[in-house]
Amino acid sequence: MFKNMIVYRIAEQWQGTLEQVEEALARTPFTECGATQERSAGWVQPRGEGEGLFAESVGGQWILRFMSESKMLPASVLNRKVQEKADAIERNSGRKPGKKEKQELKDEAKLDLLPMAFTKQGGMWIWIDSAARFLVLDTGSQTRADEVVTLLVDGLPGFAVALLDTQTAAQAAMAHWLSSQEPPVGFTIDQECELKSADEAKSVVRYARHPLDIDEVKAHIEAGKLPTKLALTWDDRVSLLLTEGLQVKKITFLETVFDGQSKDDGGFDADVAIATGELSKLLPDLIEALGGEGRTALGEGLPAALQQPAPAEVLGVRMAAAKGKAMAVTGPKEAPEDSDPESAPF
């Protein structure tokens, strides 16, 4: 449970209850795709099909689960079907279909093929910490996070969120930690990192299972290569991969988390308690390591190649709308680029 985190701040004005969340989610339950339906999405019970509520509370932490299903229809198969239909028209009428007619043939071919297509399902855990006012999504894809946030905003009156924003940009902080070899309090630097140049070449250097306290890494940063990913361990309890967009990936709970627990202590409630218990302590420490919450800007004391002022547009207010309703209100002007939205189901 919770291998990734995209974190949002919930606006102070929203004071919704667990019962209101349950009522909203129950209006849009997940159903499998129909015969000619390409994609379906909705909410399922976190405990399992037909078990419990759509919004569960464990130790005061609210847990939701989003599910989607899509039909897998390879482009090559669809194109072949379209070509077969176009060839049949040419044989029967002696003419080639035009551009508009080919689009109609494509739509027709898709309807023919969808009932036979395989389906792929993907689920996402959602955690609402109503006391700390965090919304946490277990995904590494900003595109899919946006879909879930839109559903929540649409279904919950007055619900508004903003992407977590910090005084120091994650990329600048990671560059400083690697250059100085001084990780933030409570964290250690592990053996995985990716550095990318900001010039047109976009050259990339990756380290895996390799010590990072070497002059070579410092030289890359001095030359202007910026960290896009850095592996860290928090308090000898949780290992993670921090990204330039302030996303957290590859979350792993270490053995110290499970000390004193027997093998029979598993189950939904135990998993939720462990995940939310550890991550609710990790998040404030990570925010503190990035200078606290606030406007994103490059930190001070970095190599000359990294010294640049924060662009004015980053300091602006980002507003998003979901079916006419105000959504994000204070985060960065732009969401982080979704560089690999198809890397995982969620």
Write the DSSP string, 173-230.
HHHHHHHHT-PPTTEEEEEEEEEEESSTT--EEEEESS---SHHHHHHHHTTEEEEEE
Do 301 and 242 fall within a single domain?
Answer: yes
Say if residue 190 is exposed, middle or buried (CB neighbours under 10 Å; 0-12, 13-18, 19+): middle
Do 40 and 110 fall within a single domain?
Answer: no
Do 103 and 33 fall within a single domain?
Answer: no
Do 68 and 79 fall within a single domain?
Answer: no
Tell me if 242 sits within 8 A of 174, measured CB to CB. yes
Q: Which residue type, as a one-letter code, is found at position 313?
A: E
158 lies in some domain: yes
Would strands 161-163 and 134-137 be described as parallel, antiparallel, or unpaired? unpaired
Do 236 and 278 fall within a single domain?
Answer: yes
Q: What are phi and psi of 195, to 5 degrees?
A: -120, 135
Do 153 and 60 fall within a single domain?
Answer: yes
Q: What is the pTM of this model?
A: 0.80
pLDDT of amino acid 334: 53
CA distances from 75 to 102, 116, 120 (A): 15, 15, 16
314 lies in some domain: no
Do 108 and 125 fall within a single domain?
Answer: no
Q: What is the pLDDT of residues 12-27, one digit of tens each?
A: 999 999 999 999 999 9
Domain that holds residue 144: 6-73+118-163
Contacts of 286 (CB under 8 A, 6+ apart): 234, 242, 248
Question: Could you give the 3-state DSSP secondary structure of residue 330?
Answer: coil
pLDDT of amino acid 336: 54
340 lies in some domain: no
Q: What value does the mean pLDDT take over residues 180-186?
A: 93
320 lies in some domain: no
Do 13 and 140 fall within a single domain?
Answer: yes
Confidence of residue 305 (pLDDT cuts 50, 70, 90): very low
Q: What is the pLDDT of residues 113-165, one digit of tens each?
A: 999 999 999 999 999 999 999 999 999 999 999 999 999 999 999 999 999 99
Do 183 and 105 fall within a single domain?
Answer: no
Buried b (16+ CB within 10 A) or exposed e, 320-335: bebeeeebbebbbeeb
Do 246 and 179 fall within a single domain?
Answer: yes
DSSP 8-class letter at 166: B
